[in-house]
Structure 1
Amino acid sequence: MLKSKLLLALAGVWFSGAATAATWNIVYPRPMSELDDRTRYPVELLTLALEHTGVNFKLTASDRIMLQGKAISQLESNREINVLWSMTDNQREEELLPIRIPIFKGLIGLRLPLVKIGSRANFTNINNLQALLNFRPISGSDWPDTKILQANGFDVVMAEDYDQLFYSLQQERGDFLPRSVVEIWYEFELHVDQQPLSIDSNVGLYYPTATYFFVNRKNVVLAKLIESGLEKIIANGKFDELFMFEHKAMLENAGLEQRTILHLDNPILPAQTPLSRKELWHPVPE
């Protein structure tokens, strides 16, 4: 019955063919490069979830490259794309409709410092937040992370776009880039040939947050479809299997047990965040 209703629903999703053999054409923002490894896991996870719904679907990238700010604007206007993934906050959940299952199991909020070799950023003896506040993090001007860092007392150097993050680090406008444990290894490899970079091995930051799949607020049917697929792969273990396949090596490389993990408050964490569902979150050292 649920499958039949989903197939016949026309709100907010493009179809091809007759209703009885409808295909959901689901479009996500095209990344800056087809080799962008940060895109692979969310697309694989979404594909796996949709496969478990039993519907016919076609999952493709948008025709043009779309950075996060533009993607959010287009999705809110119901143009070009009908799904994206992004870190949540109250404003984002007002603009878009979240599927409240954290696709990175909360690890988007576990941040390691990416630093320029030879700069003043030496975190060897840092063991409390007050000491780390002497260093300036670099963050995107429209990112929820920036608000969190500022709320915890950091003097944040803001970058207007993704590439400017690394340029600001190279120019030492800020002292470090706090990048998530599920992103930093790719970014290090991508930029280390352009400037002398290092991933600090002593300190980590953690704040509770989630990256969700989002759809247009009127597209309740698509949200329910994605949610049902995600719940099915959580129940049968396929979610955790894919998550660990993609991230086990990253977590091992991070050496979390040997780090001082500084826990930050997140004043912009929406009240509906499913923190009580322990199976949705990866444990983080205290």
Structure 2
Amino acid sequence: MVINEKKIHFWNGNKSPTRRNYEKQLLSLCVQEAGITDADIIVDECDYPAAEDEGNIFSKGCDLLVSVAGNQKFSGKPTTIIEIPVCRGVLGHRLLVIPQKQAERFANINSVRQLQQMTIGIPATWADADLFRHNDFNVSEKGSLDDLFMRLLNQEFDYIALGANEIESIFAQFSGEKAGLLLEPTILIYYPLPLVFYIHSDRQDLVSIIESGLTTAIANGKHESLFEEHHPNLINRLALRTRTTFRLTNPYLPDPLKNFCPTL
């Protein structure tokens, strides 16, 4: 593998536009805070609908990416993980999209068993599918994020669960309210799901750069400022502290992050 140390190939696909924008700017911030001024960051936002293709992204010229810690698609791949959460754990705070006509049904849910007896819709290749199945949920894993809302309207499943950091923009992007869908206001499904950097094992130079830059940005407050820029007043606006919360387990976290608990 021929390495040009000034070039950084960042794969940023298979995720919502909200996450793409935040993670792209976060990478630039990390490089900047590490004192690197001449890096050429090449961003690849190609989506890979097959899990096998996504899992092989590091053999296609990718130097680094951001994904959930413990993503099984990258298990056994030539990577180094920087085990510092980059988005305060908000992705693991899942809020629901439901049909408006089902609002009363969901407002009366008071046990996780009621949600398990329904069916959740998840796009193909998303790491959440394995996690929900591990927690005994009925999962309909199929298609892409682009067709997820139409599948819900077609009654292929009962609800969608998206991260608090992206659900509003995705809902607006797909005109959820006009289509007869609702951002459910009372329920929160939580599981530890920190986002972290994965770096190709041949790019150990990037490990020190990203770890140093991220640590510095967290210490000097620039990471928090970037988070707030992309997720303004998120915790209060979506009432993350006061919803009825159903906690799930995540068996896929690496050991250093098994006790990860975000502070909201």
Measured against the shorter chain, the TM-score band is 0.7 to 0.9
SS in 1 for 2:11: strand
Partner residue, 1:222: 206
Q: CA RMSD in A?
A: 2.6
Partner residue, 2:133: 150
Higher relative CO (CA 8 A, sep ≥ 6), structure 1 or 2? 2
Q: Deviations over 1:119-176 (max 9, x none)?
A: 5883101122122222211113332211111111111111133223223212111111
Aligned length: 258
Partner residue, 2:245: 261
Note if 1:118 corresponds to 2:101. yes
Partner residue, 1:83: 64
Instruction: Output the CA distance in 2 between the equivalents of 1:50 and 1:111.
Output: 30
**8 A Cα contact 2:12 2:24, kept in partner:** no
Partner residue, 1:192: 175
SS in 2 for 1:118: helix
SS in 2 for 1:230: helix
Note if 1:59 corresponds to 2:41. yes
Q: Deviations over 1:56-103 (max 9, x none)?
A: 2122323x723374444222x1x2332211112263353232221111
SS in 1 for 2:137: coil
Deviation of 1:105 after TM superposition, in Å, equals 1.3
**8 A Cα contact 2:62 2:200, kept in partner:** no
Return closer, same or farther for 1:274/1:154 CA change in 2, 3 Å cut-off.
Answer: closer
**8 A Cα contact 2:12 2:65, kept in partner:** no
Q: Deviations over 1:248-281 (max 9, x none)?
A: 33323211233101111112222122746x7xx3
1:104 maps to which of 69, 79, 87: 87
Note if 1:25 corresponds to 2:15. no
Q: Deviations over 1:209-234 (max 9, x none)?
A: 21112121332221221111101111
Structure 2: gaps of 5 or more residues: none
Structure 1: gaps of 5 or more residues: 1-10, 16-23
Instruction: Output the CA distance in 2 between the equivalents of 1:93 and 1:147.
Output: 14
Partner residue, 1:252: 236
Deviation of 1:54 after TM superposition, in Å, equals 1.3
**8 A Cα contact 2:217 2:223, kept in partner:** yes
**8 A Cα contact 1:112 1:179, kept in partner:** yes
SS in 2 for 1:258: coil
**AA of the residue aligned to 1:14:** N
**8 A Cα contact 1:107 1:282, kept in partner:** no
Pairing 1:143-182 to 2, within 5 Å after superposition: 143-182=126-165
Structure 2 length normalisation: TM-score?
0.87
SS in 2 for 1:272: helix
Partner residue, 2:31: 50
SS in 2 for 1:133: helix
**8 A Cα contact 1:37 1:186, kept in partner:** yes
Identity %: 25
Pairing 1:222-241 to 2, within 5 Å after superposition: 222-241=206-225
**8 A Cα contact 2:9 2:43, kept in partner:** yes
Return closer, same or farther for 1:121/1:158 CA change in 2, 3 Å cut-off.
Answer: farther
**8 A Cα contact 2:103 2:184, kept in partner:** no
Partner residue, 1:203: 187
- Structure with larger Rg: 1
**8 A Cα contact 1:115 1:198, kept in partner:** yes
**8 A Cα contact 1:90 1:270, kept in partner:** no
Q: Deviations over 1:174-222 (max 9, x none)?
A: 1111000001011000111672221100101000121112121332221
Return closer, same or farther for 1:224/1:94 CA change in 2, 3 Å cut-off.
Answer: farther
**8 A Cα contact 1:152 1:264, kept in partner:** yes
